[in-house]
Amino acid sequence: MPPQSQALFDTLDLLFLGTIGLGTVAWFTRRHFFGGSSSSSSSSNAAKSAAGSSTSMLPPPPERNFVKVMQQQGRRAIFFYGSQTGTAEDYASRLAKECSQHYGVSSMVADIENYDLTYLDALPEDSLVVFVMATYGEGEPTDNAVDFWQLLVEEETPQFSDRGSENGNQPLANVRYMVFSLGNKTYEHYNAVGRTVDKRLTELGAQRIGERGEGDDDASLEEDFLAWQEGMWPAFCQTLGVDENSAQARPRQATFAVEELESYNKDKLYLGELSEWPKKGAKIVYDAKRPYLAPVTSRELFSEDSDRHCLHVEIDISDCPDLRYQAGDHVAIWPTNSDTEVHRLADVLGLVDKLDTVVMVKAVDAAASKKHPFPVPSTYRAIFRHYLDICAPVSRQTLMSLVEYAPTEESKACLERLAKDKEAYRREVGDGVRNLAEVLALAAAGTDTTTAGFFSSVPFDLIVESTSRLQPRYYSISSTPLTDPTKISATAVTLAYQPSPDDERTVYGVATNYLYQIHATAAQIDRKSSTEPFYDLAGPRNSLGGTKIPVHVRKSQFRLPRNARKPVIMVGPGTGVAPFRGFVHERAVLKQKGEDVGPTILFYGCRHPAQDYLYAEEWPDLFKTLGGESRIITAFSRETDQKVYVQHRLREQGEDIWRLIDKEGAYIYICGDAKNMARDVQHAFVEFAMRYGGKSEEAAHDVIKKLRNTGRYQEDVWS
């Protein structure tokens, strides 16, 4: 394309994206650039995270009219969830359980992707719909909520079924709803999805019942959820004509039935497989619901005298045509729980001698949309190792449900204290990062018996009901397909830390330590004396063989400008540099091909140049290839007594950086910590607009907002 045409094309892109706004940018980018999503397209399922929102064993129900399903099954409330990592689904399930258990109201839990929400206007007035919606990335809907978002938010005049047409421009006038939204205050668009859904429903005539709930994952999402419920249930009961005072602690109703099997088909037994057995002759497509078992190699990036490990992981996808990626995407790695934690939980539940017993787990409610929580039949060992997130801190609500199974008064008092005392729970479980097994062991401590089998009376179905599915971990891809489309790179620091100075326990990251053991085994590093957790690397039926990992690719909006002549400014300390390694490699390849590539500036920070300077050997040649104003600017926080961070280096270059932004249309990319670094970096850019652009503080913030809305200020951050 001639430079003049490319420049015009780029300008029109910016004008178009700036006009349609951020929400539509999310949809437009996802749909037109990255494969899109629609209710009739398999790409929606491919993009969707398999993180607990559905299992491959559960196809969407044949009847997509959820109102008809509710009427057929006698349900008065429906709890829709938009979930990326499974938390929103867990909350929706807990609400539905409480709804039935304490208030006797029949309800259903539904993945919002599995039903056609154009029937929302047909919901009877004596029913209630509850939306539990998480916000993902830059104020975007979760993958499973994209279709709903497109209908409700991006359509100026949403088209519902004929039932609501009699209400004119308020087609949802008969709808009564509740909203609980999940977000993180360190992100720019806090709870944007829940807030926007709430606003649009009201604009379309729906009546919100009670206050909108908002959970902050940076503080205490669980406490926010529990606090919202206190006001939610009275409003819920009043709306549905239920006597709140008649609520009672009925005998526990099991959600799942568990049966130990003596007879079963060994060929159909799931030992950790993440997807259903393929039908004979069917084409196998690898995506979020069926991750690909990819060969993996790795190398250590930190020096030998570093007290940490950082791996450069190379994932081979040469034999998987279904997996395609672009620089800036994320690779999802499905870990296993360590055998250390598997045995810890099995021990306190009295299941050590039964780990290889085969069990069937299925929903008690025959009409439930989710018949099985994970692939079954399976074994206790496989369930603990591959399917349940047994390493996550246990919730207060779960602890309360376990009180009645405590075998001694002392253990009962311990569980009650942690379940009811918010401060004690925060200190010992939340901040202490204690999982279910550790809390049960804590409750057993000080008794006259050992922890082995101490809580053997706890029904296994309660463990399944109360424990989330083990989720994939997402890593920014640190490579570009322009260099090698058959290899995906990721950069991961092995996570291991003490929760507090006076706590001698070490908390280990599930996925990074799993990856490190694969690396250590391949590198023949002796770990016999190590206190680190040990993992089964063979995988179910030796499908991994110690050299493979289950993966899928999640598309991202974190993208280089389509016009390579535009300058790019990247800020990425630590492993935040990962996507920028891919970006720099990509622009270097384009430069080598003779394309006109604009200035490429990377601000990178780490502790010490001799210990944890990631990819130090690569940067000189890459930036030499790029030439011109392109350069890497480093900040080493522990090289001298004075700590220097990327935001300090950024300010040192302020005038030049502002010129690139203001005069040359530079794109800005931030990757790393959202709570401190990303916020400080944004403040620096606001200062540049004020100092070098002559803007007022308000106008300077508007500059950043406009850059965001036109795709010129992008973040890939975490808390």
Q: Please indicate if the annotation marks 142 as binding a ligand.
A: no
pLDDT digits (tens, 9 = 90+) for 411-470: 999 999 999 999 999 999 999 999 999 999 999 986 555 688 999 999 999 999 999 999
Whether residue 538 sits in one domain with residue 403: no
Kind plus residue range of the DSSP H or E element containing 49: none
The one-letter amino acid code at 105 reads V
Residue that finishes a domain, picked among 186, 212, 246: 246
pLDDT in tens, 64-97: 899 999 998 889 999 999 998 888 999 999 999 8
pLDDT of 31: 34
161: left (phi over 0), alpha (psi -120 to 50) or beta: beta
The catalytic residues are 476, 671, 716, 718
Which of the four pLDDT bands, split at 50, 70 and 90, describes residue 623?
Answer: very high
- Taking only the tens place, the pLDDT of each residue in 158-189 is 999 876 667 678 899 999 999 999 998 877 78
Last residue of a domain, one of 425, 446, 464: 464
Please check whether residues 524 and 482 belong to one and the same domain: yes
Examine the domain organization and report whether 225 and 82 are in the same domain: yes
Cβ atoms within 10 Å of 537's Cβ, excluding its own: 18
- Ligand-binding annotation for 643, yes or no, is yes
pTM: 0.85
For the chain, give the percent of residues with pLDDT over 90: 71
User: Could you tell me if residue 253 is inside a domain?
Assistant: no
CATH code for the domain in which residue 522 is found = 2.40.30.10
308 is in an annotated binding site: yes
User: Is residue 137 part of an annotated ligand binding site?
Assistant: yes
Average pLDDT, the chain: 88
Structure tokens at 14: 């910016």
> CATH number of the domain that 431 lies in?
1.20.990.10
Asked if 712 and 696 sit in the same domain, the reply is yes
According to the annotation, is 210 in a ligand binding site? no
In a domain, 5, yes or no: no
Predicted local distance difference test score (pLDDT) of residue 184: 87
- Look at residue 120 and give its three-state secondary structure: helix
Residue with tokens 């670094």: 677
Cβ-contact 289, 469 below 8 angstroms: no
136 annotated binding-site participant: yes
Q: Is residue 427 part of a domain?
A: yes
267 known ligand binder: no
- C-alpha dist (Å) from residue 200 to 79, 120, 150, 278: 18, 13, 12, 41
When divided into structural domains, the chain yields a total of 4
Q: How big is the chain, counted in residues?
A: 719
Contact 666, 568 (CB under 8 A): yes
Euclidean distance between CA atoms 171 and 117, whole angstroms: 13
Residues 6 or more apart in contact with residue 65 via CB below 8 angstroms = 115, 116, 119, 122
For helices 654-662 and 677-691, the axis angle rounded to 10 degrees is: 80
β-strand partners of 497: 507
Is the pLDDT at 17 greater than 60, yes or no? no
Same domain, 90 and 223: yes
Is 11 inside any structural domain? no
Torsions phi, psi for 291 (to 5 deg): -65, 150
User: What pLDDT is attached to residue 10?
Assistant: 41
- Cα–Cα distance, 617 to 84 (Å, whole number): 36
Classify 245 as helix, strand or coil: helix
Report if residue 701 sits inside a domain: yes
| Annotated binding-site residue? 352 | no
Lowest-pLDDT range, 14-28, 58-72, 259-273, 561-575?
14-28
Domain containing 103 equals 66-246
Residues 6+ apart with CB under 8 A from 32: none
The CA-CA-CA angle for residues 703, 595, 671, to 5°, reads 40
What stretches of 557-676 show up as alpha helix (H) in DSSP?
Answer: 578-592, 619-626, 646-652, 654-662
Is 677 found in the same domain as 531? no
CA dihedral for 383, 386, 387, 393, sign (positive or negative): positive
Annotation-wise, does 188 bind a ligand? yes
Burial class (CB in 10 A: 0-12, 13-18, 19+), 4: exposed
Name all contacts of 165-171 with Cβ < 8 Å and 24+ positions apart.
167/121, 167/205, 169/205, 170/204, 170/205, 171/121, 171/204, 171/205
Higher pLDDT, 567 or 21: 567
- Distance (Å, whole) CA 572 – CA 670: 6
My answer on whether 393 and 528 are in the same domain is no
Q: Cα angle vertex 76, ends 75, 79, to 5°?
A: 85
Q: How confident is the model at residue 109 (pLDDT cuts 50, 70, 90)?
A: very high
Rounded to 5°, angle at Cα 337 from 334 and 340:
160
| Interval 250-297: pLDDT, tens | 677 889 999 999 999 999 999 999 998 888 888 898 988 899 999 999
Q: Are 451 and 441 in contact (CB under 8 A)?
A: yes
**pLDDT digit string (tens) for 59-69?**
444 478 999 99
pLDDT given for residue 618 in this prediction: 98
Residues 386, 477 within the same domain: no
The answer to the question of residue 487 being in a domain is: yes
Asked if residue 41 is part of any domain, the answer here is no
91 is in an annotated binding site: no
One domain, residues 602 and 572: yes
| CATH code for position 184 | 3.40.50.360
Q: State the Cα–Cα distance between residues 220 and 709, nearest whole angstrom.
A: 30
CB atoms within 10 A of CB 41: 14
Spatial neighbors of 281 by CB under 8 A, at least 6 apart, are none
Q: Give the residue-averaged pLDDT of 44-61.
A: 36
Domain end residue (candidates: 443, 464, 485): 464
- pLDDT for 54 beyond 90: no
Shared domain for 476 and 456, answered yes or no, is no
Question: Which of 715, 445, 375, 692 shows the shortest CA–CA distance to 569?
Answer: 715
pLDDT value at 687 more than 50 = yes
Decide: helix, strand or coil at residue 95: helix
Asked if residue 236 and residue 91 are part of one domain, the reply reads yes
Compute CA 489 distance to the chain's CA centroid, rounded to the nearest angstrom.
Answer: 20
Please name which of 109, 99, 74, 91 lies closest in space to residue 236, comparing C-alpha atoms: 99
Residue 522 placed within a domain: yes
Same domain? 155 vs 226? yes
